[in-house]
Structure 1
Amino acid sequence: MGKTAQIIIILVIAALGYGAWQYQDRLPFLGNGTDAPAAKTRPQRPQSVIVSAVVNRPLPRNITAVGTARANESVVITSKVTGKINKLNFSEGQKVDVNALLVQLDDTELRANFTESQAWLDNSKKLYDRAIKLYETRNVAKAQVDLLYSEFQAAEAAVDAQKARISDYRIVAPFSGILGFREVSVGSLVQPGVAITTLDDTDTIKVDFDLPENYIADVLPGQKFKARSVAYPDKVFDGAVQTISTRVNDVTRSIRVRGTVPNDDALLKPGMFLSVELQVSIDENALMVPEEAVVLTISGPLVYAVRDDSAVRTPIKLGRRINGFAEIIDGLDEGDQVIVEGLQKVKDGTPVDVTQAVQTSEAS
């Protein structure tokens, strides 16, 4: 393009610009709009929402912890002596009473020794009785009577010792409970410390759990708690605190708490993992809203309250949450209406049409 053409184009643009500036009042798209019809602002249509009232209700203060189930009583059945098993008097998984015979070891030699000791005792007693009668008639010396009495006492002691040894060859249940797996067979030679079976009393289950030391003042014997197991997701086990440790762990700064749970249905087994929820107090005057009403933003939590048929963005301060409800510490008053459904359609100042006001208990 030549210089002449460029000059012509510049002149044309300059002329158009001058004309537009000169006659701007006559051009509707450049003028002040006095000659054009004023634009009409459409009123915003109210949005349908569902609200719930802020209510004052009791709020329990709960502590959660991880617990371990333990048998009320638990023992590994073993023998005090070395011996061969003559008889196994139980089945795996059997429920037995206290002092029930579980295992009989071979005690043949001991019983022979017991018979010998019993005969010695009988003979010693006869000799002593005869010496007493002779002493009354002064036909035997007092020293002889004393000697025979000593032999009689020694014979009694020998019999008692034999009875104790024989009882060691009878293995009985130390308490009522359920037996575990059988680890030996008839004819096995067992030694002290060798496991024969296990015995657990699970009618009551102990639950041990640890709490941070700052909860020491809140936990007392007798307090109720609820325990849950992943094995029974719909089952809640009610228990009570039994004992609180007298010492705080100086490494974890936690304190051990032991509770008990009735186990009449035998659902809980020792060693199971349990989640524990312990109620330590109740706040009688807590302002609560459904969790659906709370909107979490970068600047903090907020709700949309309904005032004068409009949604009002209201920052709040949250407290605890429980069972689908959130505690309001600051920002709302009892009786305020907050939007629980339709939040995605409103912003601050949006007109709203309340189609339903649900009860707080229904909003969860």
Structure 2
Amino acid sequence: MTLHLPDAAGGLRAYEPRTEPFAAATGAPLASRTVFSAAHVVADPFADASPDAPAAVDWDATLAFRRHLWSHGLGVAEAMDTAQRGMGLDWPGAAELIRRSAAEAKAVGGRIACGVGTDQLTDRDPGRSAPVTLAGIRAAYEEQLAVVEESGAQAILMASRALAATAQGPDDYLEVYGHLLRQAAEPVILHWLGPMFDPALEGYWGSADLDRATAVFLDVIAAHPDKVDGVKISLLDARCEVDLRRRLPNGVRCYTGDDFHYPELIAGDEQGFSHALLGVFDPLGPLAAEAVRVLDTGDAAGFRALLDPTVPLARHLFEAPTRFYKTGVVFLAWLAGHQSHFTMVGGLQSARSLPHLARAYELADTLGLFPDPKLAEERMRTLLSLYGVTS
């Protein structure tokens, strides 16, 4: 049955929904690439919470979604920016999420890595009376690292807003990260998140110049290669990622976080390839896993044939302002039946326009991402009616 979807010009266009989903099988962990999906959290829709109150999470639905990702052979990257760290999910909520998800991973045999940051220094306290110091930043990182290690999960050292605001230059980054890597119990993943995802991270590693920042980042790794499992690069700059990938010490993986160029980066070239830790693999999970299984057989062309058509959806979800991509991710999870509502912690469901959401639905439906296309159509029709679209 025809849907009339709003477009950016203010009109309505007819769209015929797909009737059959993409057929993706569940299966064993992937072989040729290590692939993590950064996962979103499901809000409790019945919680009486204001946008700046602590997040109210529907734990059953949140953990069920992680089981969905594990069932397709994907790893879960937990408590990352996809889970609204710093945009609705504070450190106490993240700590609870880490503990619960790590326990679930143990129960089902799923792979999990969890974000370690310093957000307890800045959560809901813009008027701090005492300045943040490097010692305070180290202590905050240490507190979170202990929670992740005690849970049995791998640690992902995330970029710190507090460090970006406090560091006087590259030496401060070298000191803080060196301190943390020396005490890490197991090799960690270092995460370089660009300012398009979080404007507060402008100039990370001591410079807004990518080449200079990359040099500092590589110095951190070179000083402790035995403590770095890999690096996650979220700069939306394929050239920069390939250049950095070729300069990593032997044994240190590059995990692409580039939600614009991931097919070519994962496929790689004659000098290497990227593994993956991607927010866009939250909605693309089953299809992405199927594509990597094809790559496992050595069929790079088949891999690209499956994954290249997903790029328009990814680019749409992550369009500027990129940090609001989480809204589209949760919206698609609702349409796909992974949760019963389109509500987000912090009220972030209002961060994207109806035309943006309508286009996301159309692109996802064209790819066959909805296990029950009829349910997705009905939910899209319900949303349209709330905005006054009745035809």
TM range, smaller chain: under 0.3
When normalised by structure 1's length, the TM-score is 0.18
User: Which of the two has greater strand per residue?
Assistant: 1
- TM-score normalized by the length of structure 2: 0.17
- Does 1 or 2 have the higher relative contact order (CA < 8 Å, sep 6+)? 1
